[in-house]
Structures are given as structure tokens and as C-alpha cells.
Amino acid sequence: MANIHDVARVAGVSISTVSYALSGKRSIAASTKQRIDQAVLQLDYRANAGARMLKGARTQILALSAPLHAGTHAPAHMAFVLSVVTAARLYDYDVLLLTQDEATVGLRRVARSSLVDGIVLLDVSTADPRTDLVRELGLPATVIGIPNDTAGLTCVDLDFEQAAVLAVRRLVDLGHREIGLIGQAPLVYERGSNFPPRFRDAFLAEAARLGVTVAFTPAAEESAGVRAAVEHVTAALPGMTGLVLHCNEPVQSMVLDVLSQRGISVPNDLSVISACSSFSTDHLNPPLDVIPLPADQSCTRAIELTMAQFAGDAEPHVEYIEPTYVELGSTAPGPHR
């Protein structure tokens, strides 16, 4: 493997000249730069990562702590991982993937050995040991999701509270007064995942504020669980004309199946909204109005915030991404319009 000495020799200059030519940190004569560039090309030279790490401040590697929990929708999880990796590359950063138990213990390892410049945390729970670890390590870090204690942390996430408000208002504005909410699998709430209760609580609060009747139920992921969930909300709200789904795609699809089997027509009999779905609802039947959960936006912003910490101009803070409402025809005026 060619090193900087080889390049210097071929270009007929000293290694420091090569280094400056490549980093651009000092001015170099155009003719010299050209010779160096050519030597680099000829030798297919790339600076040794270890040496750069050792000497320079930067490793150009980020740790991505991404445990995949039971109940987490794998495609959505994947979308976040891919978005982080893609966004990091825009700043010439590579991503070291830490999963499962390594998401915590590996984080300490790679941070203490100065393998990474910064950290991105995915899928934090309300009280996540990784947040304390991040505080302890003192490395630039960004959390995607909002844990209970955000002190000293930089966090970014969709504004799930605002998303819930958006969903409730939409249905209320259309004249619906009895609204159901089908949530994630029960174990997702039990495990302490951060966003499901954020959505649920804001949903219930906004409904109460507007004086509409609501029923919430989680939905286990198998078809029996989905069936039970639909039964639960319809039993609790016999006059239900609006339904919000804060659950993953397969469950959404199953809910629509169950509704269709029961002869309930969307949106004629029931207005349905998909809340915080990572993917398009186009393929659902019918396509659902959706408040998207934009993985790429969250992740891009997370990387930006991490880079800002490198630059030193960033205080720890929590940043919310504004939700949007996409109409696809699954809502219609209700009885109180």
C-alpha cells in the first residue's frame, strides 16, 4: 500500500508538502499541486486511517447505537439506519454499527478507545442507560428520540405530540366526536419505548381539551391481536366515526382487512388516519391519510447536530421536527359537521 512518502518521492517534494497539498491548509504552487495530484492518482494513494486517527483529531467515524428490540418494525428500523449512514457520508463520516447488547457496552469500548468522534443513538427508551453513558463519555452525541431526562443531551425527533394534535384536530374539524386510537404492541409500551406514550398521551390530552370521546388500545402484532384491538375500540365507542392508527404497516394493513370484513367502509363509515408511519401508505387499501415519520429528516438533522458539536457551536438541546398532514382520501366529514 502506497504511503505519503511514496507520493512525495514520485512528486519530488517533501511529505509535508504532500500533506498540505491534500488538506489545503497551506497554499501550494499550482504546478506542485498538480504533480502531487498526479502521483496520488498514479499510486491510488489514500491516507492511512490509523495514522490520521492517531495524529489528527478526527477518526471520521461515528458510532451508531441501534439495538433492534422485539416489537420494533424492522423495515422502519432499517430506514433509520440507512438514513444515518447516508447522512453521515455527506460529511465524510463512516458509521460503525453497534447492535443489541453492544449498543451499550460497545459504545463504551469504541468511545474509550477513541475509535469514533461521535455517537448517534437510535430507539432510546424513556429511561435508557445509554443516555447516562453518553453523558459520562462526553463525546459529541445526538439522540434520535426523546428520553425522559434530556439534561445535557442533544435530541431530535418528530414532534409526536404535535402529530397527535394534528390527527385529533383533523378528525374533530371534520365533525367526528368519537375517535379511536390503535397503538403499538403492548410490549412496546411496557419496554418504555419513548414515542408511543408521547403520542398516546398527547392524543388523549388534546381529545380531552376538545371534549371528544376517545378509546385507546395497543395492538399485538398477530392477526388475533389486531382483531381484538378493533373489537376493543368499537365496543368502547359504538358511535366511533374516526380512527387513528399509530402502529406499524402490517398491523395497519390488518386493521383495514378487519374493518373491511366487518363491512365498515373507509372513509364512508369511518375516517382513518395513519400516524407516524415511516413508509408510504399508497399500497394500503384504501391509501390512508398519513402524518409521515420522516426517517431521513430526523437522521439528517441528527448528523447536522453532531457535526455542529464537533465545530463547538452547539449547546445541548431538544429539537422537534414539525409533522405534516398528507391527505389521501381516507377521511370524510363526520356526523357533527
Q: Phi and psi dihedrals of 70, rounded to 5?
A: -60, 140
Count of residues near a second copy by CB under 8 A: 46
CA-to-CA distance for 143 and 156, rounded, in angstroms? Answer: 6
Q: For residue 101, how many other CB atoms are within 10 A of its CB? A: 9
Figure out which of the listed residues 41, 54, 208, 318 binds DNA, where binding follows CB under 7 A.
54
Query: Is residue 25 within the footprint of DNA (CB under 7 A)?
Result: yes
Figure out which of the listed residues 38, 42, 48, 324 binds DNA, where binding follows CB under 7 A.
48
Smallest gap from residue 15 Cβ to DNA (A)? 5
Query: Is residue 326 within the footprint of a second copy (CB under 8 A)?
Result: no
Q: Are 8 and 47 in contact, with CB atoms under 8 Å apart?
A: no
Query: Is residue 8 within the footprint of a second copy (CB under 8 A)?
Result: no
Q: Are 174 and 334 in contact, with CB atoms under 8 Å apart?
A: yes
CA-to-CA distance for 274 and 287, rounded, in angstroms? Answer: 9
Q: Around 92, how many Cα atoms within 13 Å sit in the side-chain half-sphere?
A: 4
Q: Binding pattern to a second copy, positions 284-303, x when CB under 8 A?
A: -x------------------
Which residues are 193's β-sheet partners? Answer: 125
| Segment 136 to 175, residues that bind a second copy, using CB under 8 A | none
Figure out which of the listed residues 38, 41, 51, 109 binds DNA, where binding follows CB under 7 A.
51
CB nearer DNA, residue 34 or residue 100: 34
CB nearer DNA, residue 25 or residue 337: 25
Q: How far is CA 6 from CA 29, 40, 52, 251, in A?
A: 20, 9, 17, 59
Q: Are 328 and 311 in contact, with CB atoms under 8 Å apart?
A: no
Figure out which of the listed residues 37, 43, 47, 162 binds DNA, where binding follows CB under 7 A.
47
Q: Binding pattern to a second copy, positions 198-237, x when CB under 8 A?
A: ------------------------xx--------------
DSSP 70: T
Smallest gap from residue 138 Cβ to a second copy (A)? 10
